[in-house]
Structure 1
Amino acid sequence: MPVEVALLAVRVRYGPLEALHGVDLAVPAGRVTVLLGRNGSGRTSVLHTLAGLVRPAAGRVVWRGRDVTALGVHQRVRLGLALVPAERAVFASLTVAEHLALGARTRGDLADEALELFPELSALLPRRAGTLSGGQQQLVAVARSLTAAPALLLLDEPDRGLAPAAAARLHEHLLTSAAATGRTVVLTAQTLPATLAGAAAVHVLHRGEVTFSGEPGEPGEPGEPWEPGEPRTAPDATR
């Protein structure tokens, strides 16, 4: 399948520490890709490199065949990228309604769709985001990103703090909207939820390296509480 965005031999350093060690990683277009790994595995560094928050010390970022390594965050946003970080993803002084309006400046109906997906937000529209719980703030951040209708959506542990029902709704929406609109989604998780069994690809990271790339059913049964501490290899194709 065609590739939307890829890291090619990317190394990322924070001072003397190297977080990614020559990572090669391809994201299929118009599908959902999941980055699995424990905290410190390099998942967030991959997202930040894709978004332009981090400049690689070596290697390239290629988006739709174009080398975007030197482009900053704002330039990638103009090209259709959106990132929802794991923390501090809302503006504390803005209301929930204002957050949705930020994303849906061109199409107001997308704000209505976001409220249909997360009806929990309806009663919170007049409240400032800074007064919400962590899980509620996460709903606001994800909803705002969806109303912007990005071509490439990056989500760092988007179901953190969400009720299981809300997380399942989000996963289903990401899968169906990617198929319907051609949007490409990359999200991180520590384990693979059963509700993301329809993802196109899974990349497992361990200590800054990709130790497995394949389909969701290959590293373990979807939903199994498997934590990728040890490298896994793809199943023998002859079996």
Structure 2
Amino acid sequence: MSVAAELRGVRVRYGLLEALHGVDLACPAGAVTVLLGRNGSGRSTALRTLAGTVRPTAGQVLWDGRDVAGLDAYRRARQGLALVPAERGVFGSLTVAENLALSEAAGTGGDRRGIEAYFPELTGMLDRRAGTLSGGQQQMVAIGRALLAGPRLLLLDEPGRGLAPAVVARLHRRLFEHAAEGRTVVLAEQTLPRTLAAATVVHVLHRGRLAFTGEPTELRTALP
């Protein structure tokens, strides 16, 4: 299986604090990869480094075999990368419909009706300003906008935060469908839910280092 995105020997520093200590991390193409670890493990930093919102102090960031460490985040987005941050990236002053339309106009992932099929909870909220929604509702809008863009590489940081278990299960099914279409999905979680047990690869990060890489069935004792 080919590798779509990869960190090689990546170090990331925030001031005096080094958050990633020479991490090697590969994400197979057309598959779902899960990054696991407790808060402070480096999961979010790894995603942001792949997305380009954080620059590494050392190492390579590869996408489709090309080093993109020096490529701005907006340029990566134009080339088919989408990041859904844990803090729910929505435009609060815009309506739900307007938020979705930002990607709908430029993307190839489908129209608004496709998103409502997975998030029917949004159907009656299209005219509401996103900033007035609950945290979980904003999360659905942010994920919906990313899916509408039809990204080749989709990065999600704890996408199930604030969502009901049934909604999370529905979302995970959609992510596996997204991967089956030839796209690559990488998501960060604290623990591995049963609905992600079919993931191709699981990486466990601990205090900025890679502690485990393997299949979900090999995970049992991986978390420190």
TM-score band w.r.t. shorter chain: over 0.9
1:65 match: 65
Q: Which amino acid aligns with 2:96?
A: V
1:201 match: 201
Q: Which moved more, 1:87-96 or 1:161-170?
A: 87-96
Deviations 1:163-196 (A, max 9, x none): 00000000011012211x1110000000000001
**1:134 partnered with 2:138:** no
| Structure 2, gaps ≥5 residues long | none
Map 1:80-229 onto structure 2 (within 5 A).
Answer: 80-106=80-106, 109-179=110-180, 181-220=181-220, 228=223
Q: Is the 1:37–1:227 contact (alpha carbons within 8 Å) kept by the matching residues of 2?
A: no
Pairwise CA distance, 1:65: 0.8
Q: Which amino acid aligns with 1:67?
A: D
Q: Is the 2:82–2:154 contact (alpha carbons within 8 Å) kept by the matching residues of 1?
A: yes
Q: Which amino acid aligns with 2:140?
A: L
Secondary structure at the aligned position of 1:71 is classed as coil
Pairwise CA distance, 1:78: 1.1
Q: Is the 2:86–2:157 contact (alpha carbons within 8 Å) kept by the matching residues of 1?
A: yes
Q: Which amino acid aligns with 2:159?
A: P
Instruction: Provide the rounded CA distance (Å) in 2 between the counterparts of 1:45 and 1:217.
Output: 25
2:35 match: 35
Deviations 1:191-218 (A, max 9, x none): 0000011111000000000100001111
Q: If you compute each CA radius of gyration, which structure gives the higher value, 1 or 2?
A: 1
Q: Is the 1:9–1:23 contact (alpha carbons within 8 Å) kept by the matching residues of 2?
A: yes
Percent identical pairs in the alignment equals 64
Shift of the 108–185 alpha-carbon distance from structure 1 to 2, 3 Å rule, reads closer
Pairwise CA distance, 1:110: 2.6
Q: Is the 1:35–1:43 contact (alpha carbons within 8 Å) kept by the matching residues of 2?
A: yes
Q: Which amino acid aligns with 1:112?
A: R
**1:8 partnered with 2:8:** yes
Deviations 1:20-60 (A, max 9, x none): 00000000000000000000000000000000011100001
Deviations 1:84-115 (A, max 9, x none): 00004101001011111111104594321111
Q: Which amino acid aligns with 2:151?
A: P
Q: Is the 1:3–1:29 contact (alpha carbons within 8 Å) kept by the matching residues of 2?
A: yes
Q: What TM-score do the two structures reach when normalised by structure 2?
A: 0.97
Q: Which amino acid aligns with 2:23?
A: V
Instruction: Provide the rounded CA distance (Å) in 2 between the counterparts of 1:123 and 1:199.
Output: 33
Pairwise CA distance, 1:123: 0.7
Instruction: Provide the rounded CA distance (Å) in 2 between the counterparts of 1:55 and 1:214.
Output: 27
Q: What TM-score do the two structures reach when normalised by structure 1?
A: 0.91
| Structure 1, gaps ≥5 residues long | 221-225, 231-239
Q: Is the 1:200–1:215 contact (alpha carbons within 8 Å) kept by the matching residues of 2?
A: yes
Q: Which amino acid aligns with 2:18?
A: E
Alignment RMSD (CA, Å): 1.3
